Amino acid sequence: MRQVYIFCFVLVGWSSLWLSAVAAESVIILPGITRNTEGVTTVALECNDKALLALGKRAFGMHGGFRVTENAQAAFIVQLQAIPSEVRVSVRSGARSGVLWERQIKDLELGQALLRACDRAVEYMTGKPGFFAGKLAFVGKRGGVSELYKSDLFFRSVVTLTADRALVTGPSWSPDGKQLLYTTYFKSGFPDLYALDLGARQRYPIATYKGTNSGGRFSPDGSRIAMVISGSADTELCVSDASGKNLRRLTRNKSLESGPSWSPDGSQLVFTSDMHGKPQLFTIPSGGGKARRLRTQVSSFCTEPTWNPVDSGKIAFTAATGGGFQIALYDASDGRARVLTSVRGSAVEPAWLNDGRHLVFTQREGGSTRLVLLDSESGKMTPLHRPSFGSASSASFVY
Domain boundaries, the chain: 5-19+137-398, 41-126
pLDDT tens-digit series, residues 205-239: 999 998 899 999 999 999 999 999 987 567 899 99
**pTM of the full predicted structure?**
0.90
For the chain, report the end-to-end CA distance as a whole number of angstroms. 42
How many residues are given for the chain?
Answer: 399
Tell me phi and psi for residue 291, to 5 degrees. -80, 140
| pLDDT one-digit tens code per residue, 240-250 | 999 999 999 99
Pairing mode of beta strands 257-262, 280-285: unpaired
Q: Classify domain 41-126 at the CATH class level.
A: alpha beta
- Adjacency order of strands within the sheet including 368-375: 346-352, 358-365, 368-375, 381-383
Ordered per-residue pLDDT tens for the chain, 399 residues: 444 433 333 333 443 333 333 333 333 333 334 445 468 999 999 999 999 999 999 999 999 999 999 999 999 999 999 998 899 999 999 877 789 999 999 998 999 999 999 999 999 999 999 999 999 999 999 988 899 999 999 999 999 999 999 999 999 999 999 999 999 998 888 999 999 999 998 999 999 998 899 999 999 999 999 999 987 567 899 999 999 999 999 998 888 999 999 999 999 999 999 988 899 999 999 999 999 999 999 999 999 999 999 999 999 999 999 889 999 999 999 999 999 999 999 999 999 999 999 999 999 998 899 999 999 999 999 999 999 999 999 999 999
CB 339 within 8 A of CB 328: yes
CA–CA distance from 109 to each of 70, 83, 87, 155, 194 (Å)?
27, 11, 10, 15, 31
Give 5-19+137-398's CATH code, choosing from 2.120.10.30, 3.40.640.10, 3.40.1110.10, 1.10.1740.10. Answer: 2.120.10.30
Alpha carbon distance 262, 334 (integer Å): 21
